[in-house]
Amino acid sequence: MKVLVIGATGGSGRAAVSALLDRGHDVTALVRNPDTAELFGTSDTAELFGTSDTAESFGTSDTAGSSGDRVTVVTGDAVRDSDVERAVHGQEAVVVTLGIRENPVRVRLRGPARTPLDVRSRGTRTVVDAMRRHGVRRLIVQTSYGTGPTRDRLPARYRLMFRALLGPQIADTERQDALVRSSDLDWTIVQPVNLTDGDDAEATVSDGDVSSWAIPRRAVGRVLADLVDRPEYARATVAVS
């Protein structure tokens, strides 16, 4: 299958590219800086939350992905219509892992230096519009556990952290969630818990229950890749833990 990854150079995005290659898909990566393409399959940044909580086991692939000649790198910006239009053309599915990779304290106090604060909602809206125009139906979007339908399942300590440290980013994730749900695409929203660079693990996928409060990015990447050709999860939200 031909799969476009938006946000391909972030931790989850690189993990998704690697997992998609493991499964034999042809991957297109939209990146702002083509020099970062060599980082696919690695993870070196810390992100807060992106979880999943179902009781089904996902992503048991144990091979190492590499970019090889099955990755097409497209230079462009996820919030620019013309760039996304060019990248979506000819694809069969799109995976969105947009986020801000800067220090969350700095972002809260001064705003992001390199990425729009509303990159999740703006970028996802651009993707959804392009998919509609090109007739691409399958959309996988990583958001964050504790937003949308899992908002009331988040423990109080995490709610306080979200409000104090990540308030504007969480608000944008809520907007992203709403616009995906309102689309007529075959979407699946993936909500991992706290993302780590720790040892690999097998992910648990559920409709909202979580088995732990941390999940390695590699495990989330495998879930994102597995869901590309799992039509039974269309128009569903899954938690990953």
Reported confidence tier of residue 53, pLDDT bands at 50, 70, 90? very low
Neighbour count for residue 167 (Cβ, 10 Å): 11
Q: What pLDDT shows up at residue 161? A: 86
Residue 218, pLDDT score: 96
- From residue 114, give the alpha-carbon distance in Å to each of 119, 221, 239: 11, 24, 29
Given this model, what pLDDT does residue 52 score?
30
Q: What's the pLDDT band for 69 if we cut at 50, 70, 90?
A: low
> What is the per-residue pLDDT across 158-189, written as a single tens digit (0 to 9) for each?
889 888 889 999 999 999 999 999 999 999 99
- CA nearest neighbour of 199 among 223, 215, 220: 215
Read off the pLDDT of each residue in 96-107 and give the average, rounded to a whole number: 91
37 pLDDT tier (thresholds 50, 70, 90): low
The pLDDT value given to residue 199: 85
pLDDT at 46 over 80: no
Q: Which residues make Cβ contacts (< 8 Å) with residue 232, sequence separation at least 6?
A: none
What CA–CA distances, in Å, run from 2 to 53, 87, 91, 195, 225?
A: 28, 11, 5, 27, 12
pLDDT value for 237:
98
Residue found under tokens 């703006």: 122
Pairing of strands 214-216, 186-196: parallel
* pLDDT tens readout for residues 219-228: 999 999 999 9
Mean pLDDT of 129-157: 96
Q: Please say whether the beta carbons of 199 and 216 come within 8 A.
A: yes
Pick the range with the lowest mean pLDDT from 33-37, 57-61, 119-123, 205-209: 57-61
Cα dihedral across residues 57, 63, 64, 66: positive or negative: negative
- Domain at 2-240: CATH code: 3.40.50.720
Mean confidence (pLDDT) of the chain: 87
- What are 241's two structure tokens? 């833990």
Sign of CA dihedral 183, 91, 197, 40: negative
pLDDT on residue 66: 39
